[in-house]
Amino acid sequence: MNALILIAEDEPEIAEILDAYLSREGYRTYQVNNGQAALDVQPLLKPDLVLLDIKMPGKDGWEVLAELRRRGDTPVVIVTALDQDIDRLQGLRIGADDYVVKPFNPVEVVARIGAVLRRTGVARAESVLRVGRLEIDTESYVASVRGATDASGTTQLALTLTEFRVLTHMAKWPNRVFSRSELIDACLPGGDALERTVDSHVSNLRKKLDKAGAAEMITVVRGVGYRLAAS
């Protein structure tokens, strides 16, 4: 199972940016916008890491961090506008695993999260996703269909990078219906944000799956978007 990151951030735009970049890298995410909510959901969700803002309504990040440390050793990465050395030292003294100052590069934040998870022994998601006969190796960027040529054989799909991203994103949540706008946000960063662009990529994907004997895997949900079937 993919590592679950709890994002405690009261600025919606920042929370959405972090969510998008983390999801793109294969993490599961859950967002809350205040400190008390973070403490309320933490025992239920048991996140692998908490991404914690300091200046939040209700309980601030310092209180949340202190309570999380009383509860256990869930890794915590602070993301805050507080950039003084005394703030960094306080965060590390209370028990933060890392400290990132706003404004930040979201790619760097994701990299730091990965480093903390490795350092604390929390496993990342398995590099191979399997959905029905479909198998996707997210590290080597190879997607294949098992049993496409015979009972034991596989057919490798010749995908473009964007097609691979779309297929991988859908494979993380099989049977879920994805809107075109969701796929644009997750798989076409900085690209031409047009729904017909997604339609073109998905159409090509379906043709390639069809050639591999798995035409039924991606279905169109009229008026909503696309679904990758789990079987």
**Structure confidence at residue 124 as a pLDDT band (50, 70, 90):** very low
Longest dimension (CA), the chain: 64
Q: Which CATH number fits domain 4-119: 3.40.630.30, 3.40.50.2300, 3.10.129.10, 1.10.3720.10?
A: 3.40.50.2300
Residue 143 DSSP symbol = E
For residue 190, how many C-alpha atoms fall within 13 Å in the half-sphere facing its CB?
1
Q: Examine the pLDDT at 231 and tell me if it is beyond 70.
A: no
Compute φ and ψ for 192, nearest 5 degrees.
Answer: -75, 105
Sheet holding 76-80, edge to edge: 28-32, 4-8, 49-52, 76-80, 98-101
Average pLDDT over residues 9-26: 90
Tens digits of residue pLDDT in 47-72: 999 999 998 988 899 999 999 999 88
Tens digits of residue pLDDT in 90-111: 888 888 899 888 888 888 899 8
What pLDDT does 5 receive?
93
192: left (phi over 0), alpha (psi -120 to 50) or beta: beta
CATH class of 128-228: mainly alpha
- Beta partners for residue 16, in sequence order: none
Structural domain boundaries of the chain?
4-119, 128-228
What pLDDT does 193 receive?
57
Q: 21-25, 39-43, 202-206: which has the minimum mean pLDDT?
A: 21-25
Residue 141 DSSP symbol = T
Compute φ and ψ for 225, nearest 5 degrees.
Answer: 165, -135
Mean pLDDT of all residues in the chain?
A: 86
**Structure confidence at residue 77 as a pLDDT band (50, 70, 90):** very high
